[in-house]
Amino acid sequence: MNFGEWISRPWPWYVAGPLIGLTVPALLVLGNKSFGISSSFRHICAACFPGNVPFFQYDWKKEAWNLFFVAGILLGAVLATQLLANPQPLQISPQLSAELAGYGITEHNGLLPSQLFNWPALLTLRGLITMVLGGFLVGFGTRYAGGCTSGHAIMGLSTLQWPSLIATCCFMIGGFVMANLILPFILSL
Amino acid sequence: MQETITNTDFEVRSLDSICVNDSRLTHRWYHNIKYLIVGILFGIIFVKAEIISWFRIQEMFRLQSFHMYGVIGSAVLVGMLSVWLIKKFNIKTIYGETIVFPVKAFNKGQIYGGLLFGFGWAITGACPGPLFAQIGTGATVVIVTLLSAIAGTWVYGYVREKLPH
């Protein structure tokens, strides 16, 4: 195996998981920052359109580190895609592949199904629900819960906070119900 | 800032009244570059381990692959061990400050909000971090999903006091 092949291979969970876990001490040691990504949405609201909403009346500049962090995530994804991308199609489970074929989702070369996520699909009911309603639920739900996978599941559980365990269980219950019971109807639209 | 309901948002440290010894240091903007760099490394992991893939999230919620459970589980274990070491050896920040851990209080939002986020996570195949990363991979239409997530956060802020917490 040559270097190019080695660098382009997907990373297994036991490499990626521990590296993500190390983000927790990295942010703490660099400046006492609690790992959490969804609050970036709140800071964007506070910075751009706070209105008269008390929830957005605070000094968002004090939390600007979080916006630098998410800008980094976007840049990192650009770098990984341009320089380290895997040229092979994504390997997905045969059961999932068979199920998705039933909804006309047959292509899985990239990380996202291009037959579901594309600009013209925004004009279809299926696309509107997946991209617009789905995004809305992510933004509304994470702030209502006070955190997301990073803030509750990783940071909260790392500091042994039981409310984060409840939140994480609810994330998973919501995901299981949606993926298995509701999403099939949405994808059939 | 006057809040009629107690703080439920433990990611926003400057609002957290419990954090009495939170950082009093003020830094120029370029001190934030270090968080940009951590973010870049994080974004690379997201893409290389396919964590931002809609397909991987579908496999997770259908119990068709161990990958995401391995990623999240090992991340939590390493996070726990790191926090334990920081407490045990009283490790300070690079500015010499004591590291503080905000205490999260329970409120019903963690249940209702958690379920709603779970729905959104399974539909979009992305939690908030991956939304930014998916745009970076060239899936430009995810900008719409991101804007919708920001709108969702805004609407939550608007109706917050009428919701059960």
Contact B79 A54 (CB under 8 A): no
The whole-angstrom separation of Cα B83 and Cα B78 is 9
Name residues 62-101 of chain B within 8 A of A (Cβ).
Answer: 62, 64-83, 85-86, 91, 93-95, 97, 99-101
- Per-residue pLDDT, A41: 97
- Per-residue pLDDT, B16: 44
Contact A135 B41 (CB under 8 A): no
Q: Which of A31, A96, A151 sits opposite B55 (nearest CB)?
A: A96
The whole-angstrom separation of Cα B125 and Cα B54 is 4
- Per-residue pLDDT, A12: 95
Number of domains in chain B: 1
Q: Which of A93, A118, A148 sits opposite B128 (nearest CB)?
A: A148
- Per-residue pLDDT, A88: 86
Q: What DSSP assignment string belongs to A58-116?
A: S-GGGGHHHHHHHHHHHHHHHHHHHHS---SPP---HHHHHHHHTTT----SSSS-TTT
- Per-residue pLDDT, B150: 98
Q: CB contact, 8 Å: A110 with chain B? A: yes
Which DSSP symbol is given to A9? Answer: S
Q: Per-residue pLDDT averaged across A162-184, rounded?
A: 97
Number of domains in chain A: 1
- Per-residue pLDDT, A87: 84
Would A21 be classed as within a structural domain?
Answer: no
- Per-residue pLDDT, A19: 97
Q: What DSSP assignment string belongs to B81-110?
A: HHHHHHHHTTPBPTTSPBP--PPPPP-THH
Q: How far is B90 from chain A (nearest CA, A)?
A: 11
Q: CB contact, 8 Å: B14 with chain A? A: yes
Q: Which of A11, A118, A147 sits opposite B49 (nearest CB)?
A: A11
Q: Give how far Cα B4 sits from Cα of A54, A62, A63, A114, Å.
A: 9, 22, 22, 45
Q: How far is B53 from chain A (nearest CA, A)?
A: 4
Contact A170 B110 (CB under 8 A): yes
Q: Rounded to two decimals, what is the model's pTM?
A: 0.92
User: Domain residues for A135?
Assistant: 116-189
User: Domain residues for B106?
Assistant: 4-162
Q: CB contact, 8 Å: A57 with chain B? A: yes
Best to test chain A binding among B5, B11, B21 (most A CBs inside 10 Å): B11
Q: CB contact, 8 Å: B105 with chain A? A: yes
Would A65 be classed as within a structural domain?
Answer: no
Q: Per-residue pLDDT averaged across A178-184, rounded?
A: 97
Q: Give how far Cα B12 sits from Cα of A35, A36, A55, A186, B82, Å.
A: 10, 9, 11, 34, 21
- Per-residue pLDDT, A29: 96
Give the chain A residue whose CA is nearest to the CA of B164. A144
Reported as a single tens digit per residue, the pLDDT across A40-95 is: 999 999 999 999 999 999 999 999 999 999 999 999 999 999 998 888 889 999 99
| Mean pLDDT estimate for chain A | 94
Give the pLDDT means over successive 10-residue stretches in chain B (165 positions): 58 52 67 96 96 97 97 97 96 94 92 98 96 97 98 97 95
**CA neighbours within 13 Å on the CB side: how many for B69?**
9
Reported as a single tens digit per residue, the pLDDT across A52-65 is: 999 999 999 999 99
Q: Per-residue pLDDT averaged across A21-39, rounded?
A: 95
For A93-105, the three-class secondary structure string (H helix, E strand, C coil) is: CHHHHHHHHCCCC
Contact A146, B9 (CB under 8 A): yes
Best to test chain B binding among A144, A165, A169, A185 (most B CBs inside 10 Å): A144
Q: CB contact, 8 Å: B20 with chain A? A: no
Would A188 be classed as within a structural domain?
Answer: yes
ipTM of the predicted structure? 0.95
- Per-residue pLDDT, B24: 57
- Per-residue pLDDT, B5: 55
Would A184 be classed as within a structural domain?
Answer: yes
CB pairs under 8 A between A and B: 531
